[in-house]
Every structure is written in C-alpha cells, then in structure tokens.
Amino acid sequence: MFRFGWVVQVTSYGLRVTIYMRIIKQKDVKIFDLVKALKQGKVIVYPTETCYGLGCDATNQEAVDDLFKIKQRQHNKSVLVLVSGIDMITRYVDWTPKLEELSQKYWPGPLTVVTKIKDGIELPVGVVGQDNTIAFRITGHHFAYDLCVELDGPIVSTSANITAQKSPYDIKNILEMFKNTKHKPSIIIDSGPLPHKNPSTIVRVIGNNVELIRQGEIVVD
C-alpha cells in the first residue's frame, strides 16, 4: 500500500539516524487519514494542477515553519494557499466585484490572486505577507480540492522543490532533491509523472486594479 524513501544521516555524536519519507500511491490514499496527518502538523508533497506541491495546514504556524525549513525559503517571501471555493476564502478576505469577475472567468484553475486579508484575521507568518496580504487560488485539481474540503480550510501550495531549484513533476526528482537535506516532507503522494505545465499566473488585486506579478498558465484579460 505504501513504501518509504529513506536517508541515513550521521549526527555530531556519530549516531546514524534513518529518516523516512512515507510514499503513498494516490490510488491508495485515504483522504481522511491524510487530513488527520495535516491536522497533526505534517508537511506533505501532493499533486496540483501545475506541478507537485509542498503543502500543510495553512492555519498551523508550526507546520508552516516546518514547510519553510524543508523548502529552505525565507519567511519574508510568503507562500500561496489553495481553497475549495469562494465560501472558504471569504473567511479571510472581503469579496469584491473584481474578485467575483475573476472567479467567473478563471476559477477553478491556475490563477493566484494576492489581496488584503480582513481586519482581525490571524493566520501564520509566511501565509500572510509583510504587507498583510494573502495569495490564494481556487483549485481545479480534484485531489487538492478533496483535501481542502475534508480539512475544511486552506492548504499551503508551493512547488515541492528546494528554493532556486526546478519545479518537480516526478516523484524520483523529489526524492533525489531531498535525500541529503536535514528537513524533509513526512508524506509524499505519488500520482506518477505529471504533465509539464507553466506555474500559476499571479496577480495583485487592490480594489478594481489588477496588477500582473507573474505570467503563468493563464493569460488574464
């Protein structure tokens, strides 16, 4: 049903420590059990509509901190989150006519929007940017969607690579990338080789203004 990728590390005391990453075929995944792991603060690798993503419960600061260590990313560069629908993201942002317009044209799908969070909302550092914004998209991938629904909350989604390395589309590349690192994801969902797609398009939305930050899979009119 599942297997382990493993790495032997030698500590400063000369001890050999074996670190495991649990690998589960997507067809064998029980969503309830995977969400239970997310609620426990585990960091996972999972398929998305673009590439393999590195994810965790986006409301758990310790899990987000672990994810940043795994990705070797600085906290001043926030990560995006996936949500299952408008009802989920409106817990955290005010829904505006411009967001509604974008949702009708491009969601679910690979369009990420950066916008201000509501006053009084507390989310982890790294999910909320230094400018008090959150980056999110309504996912069009059935597996990621099911995770969000079962978790009843947003899931961090950043490409499952170490910072400055290429986005991964194959589990073998992910195992090779993390085999010599100190911090590793706990669970890897193996969906086989993914089609090579561009990353999500990222736009910043302030009021009625839409600013292109990164051109990706979708061209925003």
The domains located in the chain, with CATH, are: 2-214 (3.90.870.10)
The tokens of 20 are what? 């495991």
> Any idea which of 36-40, 138-142, 177-181 has the lowest mean pLDDT?
177-181
Alpha-carbon gap, residue 177 to 160, rounded angstroms: 10
Specify the pLDDT at position 12: 41
CB 187 within 8 A of CB 31: no
Mean pLDDT of 149-162: 97
User: Which residue's entry shows tokens 């990222």?
Assistant: 202
Whether residue 185 has a cis bond before it, omega within 30° of 0: no
The tokens of 164 are what? 């400055």
Alpha-carbon gap, residue 76 to 79, rounded angstroms: 10
User: Which residue's entry shows tokens 């799908």?
Assistant: 109
Asked whether residue 202 carries a pLDDT value surpassing 80, the answer given is: yes
CA 25 to chain centre: 19
Selected residue with higher pLDDT from 92 and 7: 92
Specify the pLDDT at position 44: 98
Alpha-carbon gap, residue 58 to 38, rounded angstroms: 9
Alpha-carbon gap, residue 192 to 195, rounded angstroms: 10
The tokens of 56 are what? 């965790």
Alpha-carbon gap, residue 85 to 100, rounded angstroms: 12
Asked whether residue 67 carries a pLDDT value surpassing 90, the answer given is: yes
Rg (CA), the chain: 17
Specify the pLDDT at position 160: 97
| Closest listed residue to residue 159, CA positions, set 134, 132, 177 | 177
Asked whether residue 105 carries a pLDDT value surpassing 60, the answer given is: yes
Specify the pLDDT at position 10: 38
Specify the pLDDT at position 19: 53
Specify the pLDDT at position 208: 93
> Any idea which of 63-67, 125-129, 152-156, 179-183 has the lowest mean pLDDT?
179-183
Alpha-carbon gap, residue 122 to 201, rounded angstroms: 26
Confidence of residue 75 (pLDDT cuts 50, 70, 90): confident
